[in-house]
Amino acid sequence: MEAKLSRAAKKLTTSPIQELSHLAQCCNAINLAEGFPDFPAPLHIKNAAVSAINSDFNQYSVLVCNLRHVQGICDHLSQMVKEIHGLDINPLTDVAICCGQTEAFAAAIFATIDAGDEVILFDPSYETYEGCITMAGGVPVSYLLPIFISNFIHVPLDPPQWTLDPSKLLRSLTERTKAIVLNSPHNPTGKVFTKEELEIIARACCSQDCLAITDEVYEHITYDTVKHISLAIFPGMQERTVITSSLSKTFSVTGWRVGWAIGPAFLASAIRNIHIKVTDSAPAPFQEAALTALRSPPEYFQTLKSDYQSKRDFIVKLLAGVGFKIQFIPQGSIFLFAELPEDCLLSDVEFVKKLILEAGVVAVPGQGFFHANLSSNGISEGSCSYQKRYIRFAFCKSHETLAAVSERLGNLLNGEGFLR
């Protein structure tokens, strides 16, 4: 009966991250694989959710003008987008509330991508995008080196700084390019795209007349003096950009499933229609609590950054101290993409297995985030072996957890205190 599965379903397999999380659970390992916090969500928003449940916000969310969502969220998001990015958003027409960024992104893809359309992804990138594009029948165009496939001359973000090479981006565009997906701050590298890089992407979108779908879930988590800039602010971009984001990371509530897509009315309306057909509405009590969350005072957002910055500094120091090559310090997001020491002969996958079994810590082998130059069995080929040299560590964990990781890593160290 398995043959009855759709082509799209057959292509989708369990994420290696989920599989490793399972192994980690079996070994009682500390989970630095998945990007969810292990510390409590802020009290003021938990209280708001409890109060919403006690006030019987238990049904499909309020029906306003045929929209199943809480209009106050749209009003507040519009205000925030104006304050932060200077963009004018109509809260009545330009916002679709969805079940997390994941659904907002999927709905944006289904709203825009037909079979055969090409979508540009940066390499490495968050693994969910490709699955959605495949389901929509689009072709994920990763940056492939000419040596392997000569008619796609696309290039990844170049390590160690994950630099965007404009000429390689331009060469990846074809007349079938429908959209460019941009995630900044970036998972897995922690890169925040610069104004100059965004200008290049914006110019490419405008000259090719294609859409941009951005994933800005880490919009409030940037470090030092680095600021997140939305691609939508560049000339000609607001009319062709869907911004997706959510409560998940900013408020440490990845299980609440409240997110949004913001874009021109025709796109937001198409996304909303898809969302209503697929899930009907995001959870009602958590939408109520979202209002309280979004109204958090500026100090909340400052503390979020500074708390995460100290976690970032801790993990960078810890991993650099035991021999990982850290050539790129995360500028945003909650991940460190650490390179294996030069003298470590293990691949990323082999190292993570050793990490789980010998130290009781799980992280994610980097090759799952790369799409170019991987053979069908997921093994990196040819000269691009750097794709097998990175491990992604999620540092959205309590100080206690991070301290325990530090202790457990001791099991992997040789007499000189370096990874053996």
Ligand X SMILES: Cc1ncc(COP(=O)(O)O)c(C=O)c1O
Q: Give the interface segment with ligand X, choosing from 61-69, 246-254, 350-358, 398-406 (CB under 6 A).
A: 246-254
> Please, is 280 exposed, middle or buried when counting C-beta atoms within 10 Å of its C-beta (0-12, 13-18, 19+)?
exposed
Answer yes or no whether residue 246 interacts with ligand X by CB under 6 A.
yes
401 forms part of the interface with ligand X (CB under 6 A): no
Residue 259 interacting with ligand X (CB under 6 A) = yes
SS3 338: strand
Instruction: Decide if residue 222 touches ligand X (CB under 6 A).
Output: no
Pick between residue 102 and residue 367 the one whose CB is nearest to ligand X.
102
Spell out where 205-264 has E strands. Answer: 211-215, 241-246, 259-262
Cβ atoms of 122 and 143 closer than 8 Å: yes
Q: In terms of CB distance, is 42 or 321 closer to ligand X?
A: 42
Closest CA to 359 of 310, 393, 313, 382: 393
Q: What distance in Å separates the CA atoms of residue 388 and residue 380, rounded to the nearest whole number?
A: 7
Give the nearer residue to ligand X in terms of CB position, either 102 or 347. 102
Tell me whether residue 246 or residue 373 sits nearer to ligand X (CB atom).
Answer: 246
164-188 residues labelled b (16+ CB within 10 A) or e (exposed): bbeebbeebbeeebbbbbbbbbbbb
Stretch that binds ligand X, among 98-106, 200-208, 304-312, 367-375 (CB under 6 A): 98-106
> Does 126 sit near ligand X (CB under 6 A)?
yes
Q: Residues 99 to 118: which contact ligand X by CB under 6 A?
A: 100-102
Residues 128-147 that bind ligand X (CB under 6 A): none
Round the CA-based radius of gyration of the chain to a whole number and report it. 21
Class of residue 353 by CB neighbours under 10 A (exposed 0-12, middle 13-18, buried 19+): middle
- 148-207 positions binding ligand X, by CB under 6 A: 183, 187
Q: Which one of 78, 248, 331, 347 is in contact with ligand X (CB under 6 A)?
A: 248
72 binds ligand X (CB under 6 A): no
Binding site for ligand X (CB under 6 A): 35, 100-102, 126, 183, 187, 215, 217, 246, 248, 254, 259
